[in-house]
Amino acid sequence: MNRAAKMAMIGAFLIGILVAAYYIFTTPEASIQNRLATGMLGSLLAAIVYSLLTFFLVRESVEDKKEFRECLAELKRRDLQGVRHIRAKTEFEPVFWISLLSSASTCLDLTGHALSQWCEEPYRESFVSTLRRIASNGGKVRILLMKPDGENHTRRQELVGTIYTDRIRTTIRTVHNDVLRQIAPSYQKNISMKWNGTADFYNVFIRTDTTVLVSPYLTTMNSQHAIQLVFTPGGRFGTTYCTDFENLFKKSDPLDLTL
């Protein structure tokens, strides 16, 4: 309805109200004219109230539908790009991390400053058994850590005040003692560990057969409350982060697992 039609309708309502009010106040209460005028005034007021309610309700409904369409479009974009979850790290319960390990059947790639939390409860048993299972089935496990005496460790220590040396060696000892020593020598080559002393580790990276998880590190504080991004390996973002891992792993130094 255009502006002129709306103004004409409003004018008709006002004229009707004025005419009805005139007959109400100028004719006897029991007369037919008075009764008709009273009924007409009630109808006009009801119509006005109905119009106002309809306007606000329909407007709200339209806004809700618009917001819903925008949310749906965003979900479609995420799906096309392989985005599964965007959450805070603290929102993921231990069962999520354990199921993430379970989803790894032929490959598991891990990147982090130390990754020592995998060697602690409640994850240690699942972590160790997953590495054994993948390696013994002919799959590949690749782990990339920060080098304790590297430049990146020094920078991280200055910014955050955390020394990672003991935590890094905890991860190395766990893989060496609880994984490699427990599987046949012919399968040990399926587990590769490297470390890097120069590259800045901007995020935790985990890849399994079905999932890519990335969690950017915070620069000057602990990253426990950082965002977690979960992608499909073949999606746009998942592919990008997997390629970045491949490049960084190739440029990193082999780690002596006898340490």
Q: What CATH number corresponds to the domain at position 221? A: 3.30.870.10
Q: Alpha-carbon distance 117 to 132, whole Å?
A: 18
Q: How many CB atoms lie within 10 A of CB 37?
A: 21
103 with 136: CB under 8 angstroms? no
**In a shared domain, residues 51 and 174:** no
Q: Is the pLDDT at 79 greater than 60, yes or no?
A: no
Pick from 55, 78, 101: which residue ends a domain? 78
**In a shared domain, residues 48 and 115:** no
Q: How many domains does the chain have?
A: 2
**In a shared domain, residues 123 and 57:** no
Q: Alpha-carbon distance 171 to 7, whole Å?
A: 77
Give domain status of residue 259, yes or no.
Answer: no
**In a shared domain, residues 189 and 132:** yes
**In a shared domain, residues 156 and 66:** no
**In a shared domain, residues 220 and 104:** yes
35 vs 207, higher pLDDT? 207
Which pLDDT tens digit goes with each residue over 150-188? 998 888 888 888 889 999 999 999 999 999 999 999 999
Q: Is the pLDDT at 25 greater than 80, yes or no?
A: no
Pick from 58, 78, 98: which residue ends a domain? 78
| 103 contacts: CB under 8 Å, gap ≥ 6 | 208, 209, 210, 211
The whole-number pLDDT of residue 97 equals: 93
150 with 197: CB under 8 angstroms? yes
Q: Whole domain around residue 105: which residue ranges?
A: 83-254
Within 27-150, where are the H helices? 32-80, 94-102, 124-136
Q: What residues form DSSP beta bridges with 229?
A: 86, 214
Residue 155 is which amino acid?
R
**In a shared domain, residues 38 and 150:** no
Which pLDDT tens digit goes with each residue over 196-247? 998 877 889 999 999 999 998 887 777 677 888 898 888 888 999 999 999 9
**In a shared domain, residues 36 and 146:** no
User: Beta strand 83-88 with 227-231: parallel, antiparallel or unpaired?
Assistant: antiparallel
Q: Which of 22-31, 105-114, 142-151, 175-184 is predicted least confidently?
A: 22-31
Residue of 5, 2, 3, 23 lying closest to 13 (CA atoms): 5
**In a shared domain, residues 146 and 198:** yes
The reported pTM is 0.69
**In a shared domain, residues 45 and 134:** no
The whole-number pLDDT of residue 46 equals: 60
**In a shared domain, residues 70 and 110:** no
